[in-house]
Amino acid sequence: MRYLVLLKAHTVPNSPPPPELMMAIAALGEEATTAGVLVDSQGLQPSSAGRRVSLSRGQLSAADGPFAEAKELISYAVYDVRSREDAVQWTTRFLQAHHDLWDGWEGEADILPTFGPTDFTSLES
């Protein structure tokens, strides 16, 4: 099953990420790729570089970022794993690296199962 993991930062130190953290992230990504579970992973630019398109009361609108959320989305990953617990384990290792190697960084990750084409076959007649 595929899971989308969205990493959100609550508190980011004034210093850039330490090289040791970047090496740990690269090593974890390589391990997940070698294991055949990492489908995709990228960092995200700040919401100030984004645009939001909304549909409300029958009207479409577009607005430039930044968006009002208190937590900034900073990266995502897509894992194809056997279980939700496997997705939690990979995500926990990623957050543990932040805890161990970037003093003062705080955040959270949402782990969301995705729909695939086979999830909709029962809707076809």
Q: Measure Cα distances from 113 to 2, 12, 101, 103 in Å.
A: 6, 27, 29, 30
DSSP per residue over 76-93, as a string?
EEEEE-SSHHHHHHHHHH
For the question of whether the overall pTM of this predicted structure is more than 0.85, the answer is yes
CB 79 within 8 A of CB 5: yes
Taking only the tens place, the pLDDT of each residue in 49-98 is 999 999 999 999 999 988 877 678 999 999 999 999 999 999 999 999 99
CATH class name, domain 2-116: alpha beta
